[in-house]
Amino acid sequence: MEWIDNIIFIVILAFASFLFAKNAGKIRRNILLGRDINRSDRKGERWSLMSKVALGQSKMVAKPIAGFFHILIYVGFVLINIEVLEILIDGIFGTHRIFSSYLGGIYTVAIHFFEILALGVIVACVVFLARRVLLKIKRFHSPEMQGWATRDAKNILYIELVLMFALLMMNAVESNFETNAVGPFVISGLIAPMFSGFEQTSLHLLERSFWWFHILGILAFLNYLPFSKHFHIFLSFPNVWYANLDEKGRFSNMTSITEEVKKMLDPNADPYADPDPNAPDPERFGAKDVMDLNWVQLMNAYSCTECGRCTSECPANQTGKKLSPRKIMMDTRDRLDEVGKIIDKEGSFNDDGRSLLDTFISREELWACTTCNACVEACPIGIDPLSIIMEMRRYLVMEESAAPQELNLMMANVENNAAPWQFAQADRLNWAEEA
């Protein structure tokens, strides 16, 4: 009747996969609510950047200690998944350590290495928990990190600890099998003596218990990810690939405005011509809500790891201003989730009287930004909070004429005097006469 276990495993695996695909599909739908943008140019540069930043974790080591332990978890996660693949195959077909019969000694060496990585992941998780709970590093305790954000970060570390312990305990128990042909291993072998006095029946039952606990924990973790900041596990690679490759100080222009300016500068254009009746309605200037942002910006929001490096580098935040680039990304994601839930419930989005601007992000935050690009440079995976800030500023200026008084005065001076200063062009050289 061993086939019953296989059927139960297949049913659980299918259900977990379906549930993950469903929730991941909702995130994809939410991202595609954004405006279209073409980021398929310069493919060679994009592949190179993704290989260096996402695969090579090059920007993580800007903070060496955190970078080292993050890379340890990253490498452990990637390579230990090979053993997870074996567990999945064993669960479906009723085999046991199927790779060992094909790889021989290589398999034993690989498991030794995986166990060392598992121990490294445990150490890294303990260090990260200590940084949050004992050392209380400032960027992990900002106002936006209260509540779910902090619980989520700890949950992930606890889950990874439990999964790694379950893996080592499973191997430790199996090391005591009379028919065991692959152990003991380098780390679990140290734990194995704990079970040396157990009967074989009890050992097999205990090994199966750890096996089921480990794989069910992985499937549960998989379905936790769409509700967690750690969905960046899947989005960090495409997020880096679609990053903005233009110079950091270059801002985007709206096509509709550019065309209007060209007409104004064209001596042959008729300023009194009637507008084209077939022309589409002009799009909103800037962004008031998440649907006004482009899909890359929305993907940025779901890719944010909430590490806070952007906020810790922000000069406005350092001087006590309300702005936190991390909060900008978290607010964008929260609003996007809110819009997605309305679509789930009603079939389409109907105005709920809320928006990203004012409901989630205040105008004070937007105008505190110095546009220095420090947040963009600091992000380990190329997220661009500044682009969202600038789109929302554009809305305030061009849709509501709600710029601060100082900015309105400067723009009026540029319009009237062709310079930001309140002096007529004819008076610009008066200072020389006085000298």
Q: If pLDDT is split at 50, 70 and 90, which confidence band does 212 have?
A: very high
Q: What is the mean pLDDT of residues 201-214?
A: 94
* Per-residue model confidence as pLDDT tens digits over 235-288: 999 999 999 999 887 888 877 778 777 877 788 877 666 666 666 666 788 999
* Per-residue model confidence as pLDDT tens digits over 74-114: 998 888 888 899 999 999 998 888 888 888 888 889 989 99
Whether pTM > 0.75 for this model: the answer is yes
Q: In the chain, pLDDT over 90 holds for what percent of residues?
A: 67
Residue with more model confidence, 277 or 411: 411
**Assigned fold of 255-266+283-417:** Fumarate Reductase Iron-sulfur Protein; Chain B, domain 2 (1.10.1060)
Give me the residue spans of the domains in the chain: 2-31+63-241, 255-266+283-417
Flag whether pLDDT at 419 surpasses 90.
no
Per-residue HEC secondary structure of the chain comes to CHHHHHHHHHHHHHHHHHHHHHHHHHHHHHHCCCECCCCCCCHHHHHHHHHHHHHCCCCHHHCHHHHHHHHHHHHHHHHHHHHHHHHHHHHHHCCCCCCHHHHCHHHHHHHHHHHHHHHHHHHHHHHHHHHHHCCCCHHHCCHHHCCHHHHHHHHHHHHHHHHHHHHHHHHHHHCCCCCCCCCCCCCHHHHHHHHCCCCHHHHHHHHHHHHHHHHHHHHHHHHHHHHCHHHHHHHHHHHHHCCCCCCCCCCCCCHHHHHHHHHHHCCCCCCCCCCCCCCCCCCCCCCCCHHHCEHHHHHHHHHCCCCCHHHHHCHHHHCCCCCCHHHHHHHHHHHHHHHHHHHHHHCCCCCCCCCHHHHHECHHHHHHCCCCCHHHHHCCCCCCHHHHHHHHHHHHHHCCCCCCHHHHHHHHHHHHHCCCCCCCHHHCCHHHHHC
* Per-residue model confidence as pLDDT tens digits over 349-373: 998 999 999 999 999 999 999 999 9
Flag whether pLDDT at 62 surpasses 60.
yes
* Per-residue model confidence as pLDDT tens digits over 319-355: 999 999 999 999 999 999 999 999 999 999 998 999 9
* Per-residue pLDDT at 257: 78
180-184, 222-226, 352-356, 366-370: the lowest-pLDDT one: 180-184
* Per-residue pLDDT at 320: 93
The rounded mean pLDDT for the chain is 90
